[in-house]
């Protein structure tokens, strides 16, 4: 049965949306936003122009995800490695751009019933940035729709280190390390993403085939979708195309497919 197109969708978005199975939408999508620098270089512009253009991609992607009912969306915005691998002028620009985004988008986030939170070592960010982050999060805290998570000063390896530190500290308060119990659930409960379902789908733009130290624990069984589109050119339509590809996959979690051998038989035959 055809479903109603949400208000505000562009024609290309609605065309893809009508092909989706609303009952099989991913519950959590994670996106590695990549390609800002290449986008700018191809246009003979400074790298910061690519970052500035990427804001429109964030807005379109976030609004589309909320519009179709995705419960959680996580965007990889700034890694710990960015401090070391990017010039200070570029990092400073990114921090100012983040502050402007947080101020400008509160009305849009509230209008779409979106909550905002963050993961990463926030305490290492400039105090002015931390203040803007806290204000934006507080301003959207009453919303009940999609949870938008920005990964800022984030490293998956640091997250796992911090999780084990938290486990050890909890054990020390409960009689010592001899009382520490470590299993998968305990580790998950001490990650930055505790309370969030693991992503079903991770999207990487710009054609790169790596996870870049992003949600390494949580993406253990996620479907990976890579698009050649550079992040500033990514829009809601491209998000829906990623979801469409996701719905063609047979998620086996290490087991067998529905026919006992592998992917859905009809999907495998369609590829022949």
Q: Residues with catalytic annotation?
A: 34, 82
Q: How many helices (H) and strands (E) does the chain have?
A: 10, 6
Could you tell me if 19 and 237 are in contact, meaning their C-beta atoms sit under 8 angstroms apart? Answer: no
Report the side by side order of strands in the sheet with 115-119: 115-119, 147-154, 72-79, 28-32, 201-204, 223-226
Instruction: For the chain, give the number of residues.
Output: 272
Tokens of 196: 């969030």
Tokens of 194: 């505790």
What is the end-to-end Cα distance of the chain in Å, rounded? 28
Half-sphere exposure (CA, 13 Å, Cβ side) for 195? 6
Tokens 């710990």 correspond to what residue?
Answer: 80
* Dist. CA 178–CA 112, nearest whole Å: 48
């Amino acid at each position: 049965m055809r479903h109603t197109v949400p208000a505000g969708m562009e024609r290309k978005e609605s065309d893809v949306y009508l092909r989706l199975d609303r009952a099989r939408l991913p519950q959590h999508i994670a996106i590695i936003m990549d390609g800002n620098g290449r986008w700018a270089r191809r246009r003979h512009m400074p790298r910061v122009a690519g970052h500035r253009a990427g804001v429109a991609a964030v807005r379109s992607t976030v609004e589309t995800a909320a519009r179709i009912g995705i419960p959680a969306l996580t965007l990889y915005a700034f890694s710990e490695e960015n401090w070391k691998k990017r010039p200070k002028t570029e990092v400073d620009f990114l921090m100012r751009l983040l502050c402007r985004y947080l101020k400008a988008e509160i009305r849009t986030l509230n209008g779409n019933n979106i909550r905002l939170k963050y993961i990463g070592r926030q305490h290492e960010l400039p105090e002015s940035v931390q203040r803007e982050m806290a204000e934006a999060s507080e301003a959207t805290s009453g919303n009940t729709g999609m949870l938008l998570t920005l990964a800022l000063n984030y490293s998956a390896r640091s997250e796992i280190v911090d999780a084990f530190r938290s486990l050890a500290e909890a054990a020390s308060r409960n009689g010592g390390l001899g009382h520490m119990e470590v299993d998968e659930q305990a580790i998950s409960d001490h990650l930055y993403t505790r309370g969030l379902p693991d992503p079903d789908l991770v999207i990487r733009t710009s054609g790169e085939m790596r996870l870049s130290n992003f949600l390494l624990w949580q993406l253990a069984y996620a479907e990976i979708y890579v698009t050649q589109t550079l992040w500033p050119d990514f829009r809601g339509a491209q998000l829906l195309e990623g979801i469409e590809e996701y719905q063609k996959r047979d998620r086996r979690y290490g087991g067998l497919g529905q026919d006992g051998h592998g992917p859905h038989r009809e999907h495998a035959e369609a590829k022949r």
